Structure 1
Amino acid sequence: MYPVFNPNQIALTPFLFFTGKGGVGKTSTACATAVSLADQGKKVLLVSTDPASNLQDVLDVELTNDPVAIPSVNNLFACNIDPEASAKTYREQVVGPYRGKLPDAVLATMQEQLSGACTVEIAAFDEFSHLLSDEDVLNRYDHVLFDTAPTGHTLRLLQLPTAWTGFLEESTHGASCLGPLSGLGEKKELYAKAVESLSNPEKTTLILVSRPDVSSIVEANRASSELKEIGIENQILIINGLLQSHQSEDEVSTAFYERQRRALKETPDALKQVVTFSLPFVSYSLTGVDNLRHLFSSYTITVFEDDSLSTDPIQLPGLNKVIDDFSSKNIRVIFTMGKGGVGKTSIASAIAVGLSEKGHRVHLTTTDPAAHLAYAFEGSVLGENLTISSINPEIEVKKYKQEVLSTAGEGLDEEGLAYLREDLESPCTEEIALFRAFAEVVEKSENEIVVIDTAPTGHTLLLLDSTEAYHKEMSRSTGDIPESVKKLLPRLRNPEETGVVIVTLAEATPVLEAARLQEDLKRAQIDPKWWVINQSMYATDTTDPILKGRAVSEKRWIKTVNEELAPQCAVIPWLHEEKIGYNKLKEFIL
């Protein structure tokens, strides 16, 4: 259908960006490509810019901001840009020179200005820009591969060069939510070089990774068009996880194969113009260098010499038990959280439909920039107890700016208003506006159950952990903190009011990522109530050797979740059809 992607047979540029909807296999594809190029004798640097990186899980090596050699692969080096660590370094670079020279009160003000999420973002981008514009990097490495974050974050990351360059050129007043601009002014040349590298087709290739399913193909198309608009036009598409053949007598195998082909037929015309390759659906976990090397091989591995599926079976409840639990305990705020691509939107939608069918008034919303709720309910009539919405960044930013200008701007002279408008052009304004909208939605839980389909893990944690920073930022900008924001964290931490559902797949990377998410939530005094293992091949009766091989590999991860990680655990089998629409979603609760 499509030629198989093989780095040995394709001329590749020095910079390679792997992007796409969360869970499509960006990390495994980027890692396998890096290993293949290194095996050819090329010197390769693999970089993760994802706040929720799992690069070290795949390579089985501890990583830091500084490149380290991968012991089992000659010529391969890797690093993980940690936004928090970068922000700490950045803050000290700005504030450090003034210690002992300025009063403590002034230093405290500078620290406060640098406490917001915006500082974390620009600090990580500083590292990113350095790699793109440093000639020494190109001299040391033949290829630099970026395993980027899920699409919403990636778009923001790649748009930052233009956004920040424009912001610095427009800025004249010397301070912003990032603190004194003297700490950024010297970066203009660095950012300009980064922009040039990103848009140079001889230097940079954008590799869009997608699964053969409708939602990730739609997301790849959106990423492709939006990135073309900012000048990144050298693109290729990889359809990852394509089942090469099927067993006609196996209903699961046939349905899996046909569902993938139907999705590919719906590829948007614009995306069809992008050069496209495929990678096969494999039965084994894409962790460890040996397995990564198999991905581009011409032979198939099936992991099937195992009778553990029929012995000591794992029996777990379905999603209906999760819904029953929340209904009986009258939980008012419900989050679905997890690594991108594990099915948070479907689970959130099914929980909302299930609770509304039990007679509860329910509001379902999303804080995910990718916003897939419209697709989940496409063309269907909602039940009388259910309403849905999404938080639109453009609308919320416009509303927030107008509110700030009408309140904090009142009484200011022209110079003061110019300063305020300038401050509102900072990219972190969007984060503040979205946080306010998020708090307002949660406030509705006093009158109805609110089910929130959250963003992929890194964004979710940023949203929750930034409460204190946003308190400061919003107080500074508007002089007032809305009641909904004041009440938010206590509400999230109240187990009688809030329930968190961690959604995962029965695979190494999603489970390890979900375990880290659970620990981070617990540090924020938020205890998850349920784990849901979604799209499980183990929970089907397939006899297809590839799919059954995947089922065998799932069992250990289901046991790990059930016995070591989850307070309560449910499992959903891989389904023959996507549950699109209200009536189809009701089938989850039967």
Structure 2
Amino acid sequence: MYPLFNPKHVELTPFLFFTGKGGVGKTSVACATAVALADRGKKVLLVSTDPASNLQDVLSVELTGEPIEIPAIANLSAANIDPEAAAKSYREKTVGPYRGKLPDAVLATMEEQLSGACTVEIAAFDEFSRLLSDEAVLEQYDHVVFDTAPTGHTLRLLQLPSAWSGFLDTSTHGASCLGPLAGLEGKKEMYAKAVAALSDFNKTTLLLVARPDTSSLNEAARAAHELKEIGVENQLLIVNGVLQTRHPEDVVSSAFYDRQRRALKDAPTALKQVMTYALPFVAYSLTGADNLRHLFSFYSITTAAAANTAETAEMPGLDRVIADFEANNTRVIFTMGKGGVGKTTVASAIAVGLAERGHRVHLTTTDPADHLGYTFGGGKGNERLSISRIDPAVEVANYKTEVLKDAGDGLTEEELAYLKEDMESPCTEEIALFKAFATVVDKADDEIVVIDTAPTGHTLLLLDSTEAYHKEMSRSAGDVPDSVKKLLPRLRNPKETGVVIVTLAEATPVLEAARLQEDLKRAQIDPKWWIINQSLYAAKTEDPVLRGRAASEKQWIQKVVDELAAKYAVIPWLAEEKIGYDKLKEFSN
């Protein structure tokens, strides 16, 4: 097992970036680290740019974009930068000069193009850069702790010379998901200093935070590789939430412990080259200075955590979701949510449940790891069920080839490099996959189609506004196939399409799922079902540590029920992993 992480025993640089998938505990670990350093007499600035940040809840202080001192913790200041607000300002600076000069349809396209994850990244990087490039910051603070780091895509893009040319202002071949970066020419020097600081082994440490599960560890390995490629090589891995002991008499506890150990044993080879630490699974909520300090004391439980939780109330299960789709004759079903929440299992269980009820069902996924093959144990089990996999690598490669063929003629070498790099963005993958989704659905009018992982509202609006852009200006950022044009109205028709949002009963997954729902509503899609997956509260475990965590889930389940979901279901954390058709049937029994 890995050594336990404690800032007292690790040599840490002035800039510390915590990064990882949503829900792995980045904010908690970043806050606990900042408190530990401040307790040692270091002057610390803690900054969050996470759109789902609960930094002020953790510290019990109202925060703004400007640093304030934390009353209960000497030497610690904190700021909570809102990247969505920064992105809104960025969009207005980009689009504003064209108001009154271009048709409204074109302006709408520009605004939607700048509504994706990439724009939020570049707006957040603005804030990173200001702190990284300001020498006065290091004179005032010994450490600056960032909750959420910039991605490799953003950093690579800013390193390209063509990002600073006038290419995007004048090109009619396409448009960047970041918009015309030439408008940021005045910040070029600041960005260059920031990128240099990130690559400086003596200035910056990247702390990859992961959970001891396969999905989270794979994401950490991908991020480590991507950032190493552009020079961010000083990296540590923190595996957060490792259950230290198990209670053999408790089935849930034993299975939880064993599953974590298997995931750690099978961790990606690339992570074995990164210095790795562990943090224990704790029962108490990591809010407030005292509990943050407990994390590095490695207490297994607290008095509050050991207290009995209330009896688990009866909660609707997945069978209710399947029955609802059947009753409404829903033809297209998407499962959506962040990685690691169990979308593939939920999609598979819905497909199996509908097939068992006598319907012809086609189940497809974009999971590059082919988790459907694993979930079904290599078989199908019912002639009414067909399964396919959309290979993201193949679809993206085909899409890039198509775009470069249409737009590449006449570009300089630097402009071509920019276009190629821009197509490494998440937006490119979403659009390429959406075209593949559309083809599958278009060919399956006589089947119920269940799709594991779906396009965001931003992608739908971008494709929709691209059509309007094409009509207005007789050109487009990319041709929209008929299958896509037909599918957009279909997705907006609740009589044909159902969207299932899958989440965990934790702060970050719920808040991110809420943003996803708002994103979809902008695209005129209103999800009806939320599924709270892997709930310890619903599992009725007797393990004192797991019971303590179960108690903390209640507020997030209540938030989903009272504020977010029209309809909801809860799947308990299961001691037995449901592998194979017969086991998946049990979800709908």
TM over 0.5: yes
Deviations 1:35-74 (A, max 9, x none): 2223333232333343444444444555554444444434
Relative to structure 1, the CA distance from residue 92 to residue 541 in structure 2 (aligned partners, 3 Å threshold; closer, same or farther) is: closer
Q: Report which stretch shifted further, 69-78 or 370-379.
A: 370-379
Q: How many residues align?
A: 570
Q: Report which stretch shifted further, 574-583 or 273-282.
A: 574-583
Paired residue type of 1:324: A
Cα distance in structure 2, aligned partners of 1:70 and 1:376:
48
Match of 2:340 in 1: 341
Match of 1:116 in 2: 113
> 1:32 touches 1:292 (CA, 8 Å); kept in 2?
yes
Deviation (angstroms), 1:479 = 6.7
Deviation (angstroms), 1:12 = 0.8
Deviations 1:403-436 (A, max 9, x none): 3455567xxxx64788984673351574246325
Please, which runs of 5 or more residues in structure 2 have no aligned partner?
none
Match of 2:156 in 1: 162
Match of 2:302 in 1: 301
Deviation (angstroms), 1:29 = 1.3
| 2:426 aligned with 1:425 | no
Match of 2:437 in 1: 441
Q: Please list, as runs of the form range in 1=range in 2, the aligned pairs for 1:205-354 lying within 5 A after superposition.
A: 205-299=205-299, 300-303=301-304, 306=307, 309-310=310-311, 313-354=312-353
Cα distance in structure 1, aligned partners of 2:580 and 2:138:
50
Relative to structure 1, the CA distance from residue 525 to residue 38 in structure 2 (aligned partners, 3 Å threshold; closer, same or farther) is: farther
| 2:351 aligned with 1:380 | no
Please, which runs of 5 or more residues in structure 1 have no aligned partner?
none
Cα distance in structure 2, aligned partners of 1:140 and 1:214:
40
Match of 1:30 in 2: 30
Paired residue type of 2:159: T
Match of 2:135 in 1: 135
Q: Report which stretch shifted further, 239-248 or 539-548.
A: 539-548
Paired residue type of 1:568: K
Relative to structure 1, the CA distance from residue 345 to residue 64 in structure 2 (aligned partners, 3 Å threshold; closer, same or farther) is: farther
Relative to structure 1, the CA distance from residue 104 to residue 250 in structure 2 (aligned partners, 3 Å threshold; closer, same or farther) is: closer
> 2:112 touches 2:462 (CA, 8 Å); kept in 1?
no
* SS class of match (1:532): strand
Cα distance in structure 2, aligned partners of 1:574 and 1:275:
31
Cα distance in structure 1, aligned partners of 2:53 and 2:466:
24
Cα distance in structure 2, aligned partners of 1:64 and 1:491:
42
Cα distance in structure 2, aligned partners of 1:468 and 1:81:
31
Cα distance in structure 1, aligned partners of 2:87 and 2:153:
19
| 2:145 aligned with 1:145 | yes
Paired residue type of 1:381: G
| 2:89 aligned with 1:89 | yes
- RMSD of the alignment, in Å? 3.6
Cα distance in structure 2, aligned partners of 1:549 and 1:14:
35
Paired residue type of 2:422: P
Cα distance in structure 2, aligned partners of 1:560 and 1:119:
29
| 2:502 aligned with 1:506 | no
Q: Report which stretch shifted further, 225-234 or 441-450.
A: 441-450
* SS class of match (1:4): coil
Relative to structure 1, the CA distance from residue 201 to residue 286 in structure 2 (aligned partners, 3 Å threshold; closer, same or farther) is: same
Deviation (angstroms), 1:281 = 1.0
> 2:59 touches 2:288 (CA, 8 Å); kept in 1?
yes
Cα distance in structure 2, aligned partners of 1:570 and 1:180:
44
Identity of aligned residues (%): 61
Deviation (angstroms), 1:254 = 1.9
Deviation (angstroms), 1:330 = 2.1
TM-score (norm 1): 0.83
Paired residue type of 1:578: E
> 1:19 touches 1:209 (CA, 8 Å); kept in 2?
yes
Deviations 1:362-398 (A, max 9, x none): 4444567x76735754851235423232452x54444
Cα distance in structure 1, aligned partners of 2:26 and 2:345:
21
> 2:217 touches 2:267 (CA, 8 Å); kept in 1?
yes
| 2:188 aligned with 1:194 | no
> 1:65 touches 1:79 (CA, 8 Å); kept in 2?
yes
Deviations 1:249-285 (A, max 9, x none): 2222222222222222223443223222111111122
Cα distance in structure 2, aligned partners of 1:60 and 1:463:
36
TM-score (norm 2): 0.84
> 1:30 touches 1:145 (CA, 8 Å); kept in 2?
yes
* SS class of match (2:35): helix
Deviations 1:193-227 (A, max 9, x none): 23322222211212122222233223323332333
Match of 2:574 in 1: 575
Match of 1:552 in 2: 551
Cα distance in structure 1, aligned partners of 2:339 and 2:429:
23
Cα distance in structure 1, aligned partners of 2:52 and 2:439:
28
Relative to structure 1, the CA distance from residue 303 to residue 341 in structure 2 (aligned partners, 3 Å threshold; closer, same or farther) is: farther
* SS class of match (1:240): strand
Deviation (angstroms), 1:441 = 0.8
Paired residue type of 2:153: Q
> 1:95 touches 1:107 (CA, 8 Å); kept in 2?
no
Cα distance in structure 1, aligned partners of 2:205 and 2:244:
27
Paired residue type of 2:431: F
Cα distance in structure 1, aligned partners of 2:494 and 2:67:
42
